[in-house]
Structure 1
């Protein structure tokens, strides 16, 4: 009887030694996954804020720059693409396209001194600049969380847990290659 009890206790201890690290690793992945999702939601939140500002900005510019229809339409089209994008890569590409279109829209404001002096335009530009900064911070936070998650999924023994429970590596939010060639934007209007 005593040998049977010792065998049972030994099996329980061995199971605990094996199960506790797996449970701990699994819970770590759940936490890391939630952190990535939360960070991505912040990117979406800030992109939505920018999408909400754009119609007001476009309408303000329309009032002054009626013959700049092509540029205004490119902003509206890019805005629609970003609103419909799904994956981080699709969002990054659509975001880059929208940034380029906005840059062109803001560049034409240089041709309209009355527009640049408009209080509503200036307020929208300030809000847009603040939103761009928030987007940059949100992207950095997201990519930091993705980096942490992916390291955990690649390193031993986390890679075993990741495979066991289908924790796939996450996708970084990368700027589109064309974003490197975006024209400069002069928010202050001092670029002369």
Structure 2
């Protein structure tokens, strides 16, 4: 009778460990799927942005023919950003594109007729909406990455993560980290 109780106890412990391992694995899969879903949301918004840029460039071309170099740079960076990259590479490409678009919008200030053009105003509003949507998608994605990475790194779930090759995900940042640093002021 004593041996049967001990065997039952060992079986119960083994069953608990197996159940824990399965639930930990499923939790990691769920979190990884949230990361992939978040990246899909960013990808959709970036595609909307990339599709909008040629329209903006074409409207600006009509008014600002001597800004050709800037327009070509924006198109070149848009094409580079459309490639399939890791989130880190995509962040870098999108930062360059954002900087070029900002430069284009600054140059547009020199053309009052263009700023008053209804097509340009509509495109500018669409671009602002897309930029806002990218920020929302980025926040969701980075939150999912944070939760997933915490699960991958934390004990005891890291044992299951290491065994089944769950790797940390990359964050997606559009801001330049140098912009977040305090400026140096010399008086």
- Please confirm whether the aligned pair reaches a TM-score higher than 0.5, indicating the same fold: yes
Task: Tell me the residue number matched to 2:184.
Answer: none
Following TM superposition, by how much is the alpha carbon of 1:111 offset from its aligned partner in structure 2, in angstroms?
A: 1.0
Following TM superposition, by how much is the alpha carbon of 1:141 offset from its aligned partner in structure 2, in angstroms?
A: 1.0
Change (3 A) 1:69 1:179: farther
CA deviation vs aligned residue, 1:66-88 (integer Å, no higher than 9, x gap): 11100000100110110014100
Q: Distance in 1 between matches of 2:178 and 2:62?
A: 28
Task: Tell me the residue number matched to 2:48.
Answer: 49
Following TM superposition, by how much is the alpha carbon of 1:8 offset from its aligned partner in structure 2, in angstroms?
A: 5.4
Task: Tell me the residue number matched to 1:129.
Answer: 128
Following TM superposition, by how much is the alpha carbon of 1:3 offset from its aligned partner in structure 2, in angstroms?
A: 7.0
Following TM superposition, by how much is the alpha carbon of 1:28 offset from its aligned partner in structure 2, in angstroms?
A: 0.2
SS of 2:168's partner is coil
- Asked whether the 8 Å contact 1:22–1:161 carries over to 2, the reply is yes
Task: Tell me the residue number matched to 2:172.
Answer: 173
Following TM superposition, by how much is the alpha carbon of 1:18 offset from its aligned partner in structure 2, in angstroms?
A: 1.0
Task: Tell me the residue number matched to 2:116.
Answer: 117
Following TM superposition, by how much is the alpha carbon of 1:108 offset from its aligned partner in structure 2, in angstroms?
A: 1.3
Q: How many residues align?
A: 180
Task: Tell me the residue number matched to 1:188.
Answer: none
Change (3 A) 1:83 1:132: same
Task: Tell me the residue number matched to 1:15.
Answer: 14
| Structure 2 gaps, min length 5 | 181-187
- Structure 1: which 4+ aligned runs deviate by more than 2 Å? 2-12, 174-181
CA deviation vs aligned residue, 1:1-37 (integer Å, no higher than 9, x gap): x677656544432221110000000000000000000
CA deviation vs aligned residue, 1:96-150 (integer Å, no higher than 9, x gap): 0100111111111111111111111000000000110111111111111111111
Following TM superposition, by how much is the alpha carbon of 1:158 offset from its aligned partner in structure 2, in angstroms?
A: 0.8
- Asked whether the 8 Å contact 1:78–1:98 carries over to 2, the reply is yes
Q: Distance in 1 between matches of 2:177 and 2:142?
A: 20
Task: Tell me the residue number matched to 1:59.
Answer: 58
- Asked whether the 8 Å contact 1:89–1:173 carries over to 2, the reply is yes
Task: Tell me the residue number matched to 2:90.
Answer: 91
Q: TM-score, normalised by structure 1?
A: 0.87
Change (3 A) 1:105 1:178: farther
Following TM superposition, by how much is the alpha carbon of 1:160 offset from its aligned partner in structure 2, in angstroms?
A: 0.7
Q: TM-score, normalised by structure 2?
A: 0.89
Q: Distance in 2 between matches of 1:179 and 1:3?
A: 68
| Structure 1 gaps, min length 5 | 182-192
SS of 1:68's partner is helix
- Asked whether the 8 Å contact 1:100–1:179 carries over to 2, the reply is no
